[in-house]
Amino acid sequence: MPGVASYASGVSEVPLLGDTIGDNFDATVARFGDRDALVERVTGRRWSYRELAADVEAVALGLLGLGVAKGDRVGIWAPNCAEWVLVQYATAKIGAVLVNINPAYRVHELEFVLNQSGVRTLVAAAAFKTSDYAGMIEQVRPDCPGLLDVLLLGGADWDALVAAGREGDPAGLAAVQGGLSADDPINIQYTSGTTGFPKGATLSHHNILNNGFFVGELCGYTEIDRVCLPVPFYHCFGMVMGNLGATSHGACVVIPAPAFEPKATLAAVQEERCTSLYGVPTMFIAELADEDFDGYDLSSLRTGIMAGSPCPVEVMKQVIERMGMREVTICYGMTETSPVSTQTRADDSIERRVATVGRVHPHVEVKIVDPETGLTVPRGNPGELCTRGYSVMLGYWAQPDKTAEAIDPARWMHTGDLAVMDADGYVSITGRIKDMVIRGGENIYPREIEEFLYTHPDVLDAQVIGVPDAKYGEELMAWVRLRPGAETLTAQAVREFCTGRLAHYKIPRYLHVVDEFPMTVTGKIRKVEMREKSVELLGRND
């Protein structure tokens, strides 16, 4: 449709919410106090909204008793658990900025995030799977002078905080909560940075409460919905689209397991009669492939969200037909936009839900521009997707220069994604301007891994690219040049060097040793050529 600009604005009769997360939560408690709010399957613990409010208040008063004040940063480093939810809403009620720390982080990343955001108080699991969180915290603590308190979940300090909070003065909390603005920063989420270290996307109550609310609106949520969340809380998918999407509608959050497990997820849907299920495509693929899949009763499912990477057609068909998720929606977004900018609707065709990421979200604008000129391109033409509105972050924490690179003077967030908008306003993501790799729904920026590989004694230079992978969509491959005198280097040796120092999903699976990288005449490395060569080397031409 030449001549019509690739621009769309999300007209909505439903107004934006103007309250803080704490006030919105309190309103839900007042309306639906006796309804289920939270279920933790592993421990069997359950909360009504009234019970959840009491525990959130205890944690909030406990944090105030520790001296945590509005604007102070409180880190949380744990897999999915009920306490994660308590800390999320407690910090919102006192105006502390919750800093989400990826459970896969190791000491290198942990120390950076604690210092860069200035975390004062850290709530953490003691351990999970192969991660000794307590040990890693002790390792970095001498180098984190701003870190005053560490509260290990299940430990004496955490229990003491909650006990003290139960004896606290609710009037004091109400006074603090009453002094908060919806535009205050309330959450920092780290995204892998192209500069070699993550950047802290800083989000307000207004950003994430509204995004969660409107995601829930497009899923048709009411107080009778029960939302199964196998996706991580440390990410917007879990804590915004999941938790805030549910609590802003009085729906119930079901935590199937601390981390994704297909059987635990399917059992949670069956036994809790969940109406909605979230996941990245690889999660749905794993659930559908479970040998006991046909034995689960999933008849309660109605809707859900698939996001993180494109969904194969056959997977979408099976999610609708075999899982009964007739109203499943596809979301597109990024942490910096709270996260969702586009979403398919419940009545969109399977083709729309597979080939596109839907239409613009309510109260949001999107446009597709020529990356060179910045001008909006006609519909049907590719360009960079930009988004603007209430959802755009306040900025990167303490990095105004990086913020200015991402958000232009007119407050458009430049996503770095190449996209096309069709005549009906549906957006398709066609590639990435940046070299970001999406592995199983995790966004990975190669530069951070390249910087780390430079610290290997045998590596002179390193370049990291994404290569096609049947399971994860993309896998990481490192191309390296060796230092003079270095004998050789194997992929296994690189993995061992990275293990324990980089999150597992950032560790390259493949390695290719070269004398030189392919370069342009101006000296820029040709990653496109590297990817093509890698596909041949790995036999991934199909």
What's the pTM value of the predicted model, to 2 decimals?
Answer: 0.85
Q: Sorting pLDDT into bands at 50, 70 and 90, what band is 526?
A: confident
Number of structural domains in the chain: 2
Q: 239-268 pLDDT, tens per residue?
A: 999 999 999 999 999 999 999 999 999 999
253 and 328 inside one domain: yes
One domain, residues 282 and 221: yes
Distance CA 372, CA 356 (A): 24
Q: How far is CA 319 from CA 305, 310, 378, in A?
A: 11, 14, 34
| Whether 109 and 162 share a structural domain | yes
For the chain, percent of residues with pLDDT exceeding 90: 84
Last residue of a domain, one of 418, 447, 474: 418
Q: At what angle do helices 133-140 and 107-117 cross, to 10 degrees?
A: 60
Instruction: Indicate whether 409 and 269 sit together in one domain.
Output: yes
Q: Are 315 and 443 found together in one domain?
A: no
For residues 384 and 471, membership in a common domain is answered with no
Query: What's 39's DSSP letter?
Result: E
Residue 423 inside a domain? The answer is no
Q: For all residues of the chain together, what is the average pLDDT?
A: 94
Q: Residue 524 has what pLDDT?
A: 59
Q: Which of 387, 418, 449 is the last residue of a domain?
A: 418
Q: 195 and 273: one domain?
A: yes
Close Cβ partners of 152 (under 8 Å, ≥ 6 residues apart): 124, 125, 126, 133, 134, 158
Say if strands 185-191 and 303-306 run parallel, antiparallel, or are unpaired.
unpaired
**What pLDDT is attached to residue 448?**
80
Across 199-204, average pLDDT: 97
Within-domain flag for 533: yes
Instruction: Fill in the amino acid letter for 5.
Output: A
Closest CA relative to residue 339, chosen from 248, 252, 420, 234: 234
For 36-60, write each residue's pLDDT tens digit: 999 999 999 999 999 999 999 999 9
CA gyration radius, the chain: 23
Question: Do the domain assignments include residue 6?
Answer: no
Question: Is residue 518 domain-resident?
Answer: yes
Same domain for 397 and 479, yes or no, is no
Same domain, 387 and 448: no
pLDDT at 207: 98
Q: Are residues 365 and 470 in the same domain?
A: no
pLDDT, tens only, 460-505: 888 999 999 999 999 999 999 898 899 889 999 999 999 999 999 9
Q: What is the CATH number for 277?
A: 3.40.50.12780
User: What is the extent of the structural domain holding 487?
Assistant: 437-537
Q: Which of 383, 418, 453 is the last residue of a domain?
A: 418
Give the confidence band of 522 by pLDDT, cuts at 50, 70, 90. very low
In a domain, 5, yes or no: no
- Statement to judge: residues 227 and 148 lie in one domain: yes
Task: Name the token pair of 489.
Answer: 């280097």
Single out the residue of 307, 355, 351, 312 nearest to residue 329, CA to CA.
307
184-193, 352-361, 429-438, range with the lowest pLDDT: 429-438
Say if 124 falls within a structural domain: yes
Which residue, among 227, 238, 207, 407, has the nearest Cα to 307 in the 3D structure? 238
pLDDT, tens digit, for every residue of 147-177? 999 999 999 999 999 999 999 999 999 999 9
Q: What is the pLDDT of residue 540?
A: 86
Banded pLDDT at 1 (limits 50, 70, 90): very low
Rounded Cα distance between 277 and 253, Å, is 10
Closest CA to 360 of 339, 335, 341, 379: 341
Structure tokens belonging to residue 318: 């099976």
Write the CATH number for 500: 3.30.300.30
The pLDDT of residue 523 is: 54
Alpha helices in 250-312 (DSSP H): 262-272, 281-289
Residue 384 lies in a domain: yes
Name the phi and psi angles at 157, rounded to 5: -65, -40
* The predicted structure's pLDDT at residue 435: 74
Q: Are residues 114 and 263 in the same domain?
A: yes
Task: Quick: pLDDT tens for 64-93.
Answer: 999 999 999 999 999 999 999 999 999 999
CA gap 242, 253 in Å, rounded: 8
Min mean pLDDT across 94-98, 449-453, 529-533 is at: 449-453
Q: Which residues pair with 519 in a beta bridge?
A: 525
Domain assignment present for residue 138? The answer is yes
At 63, is the secondary structure helix, strand, or coil? Answer: helix
* Whole-number pLDDT of residue 2: 54
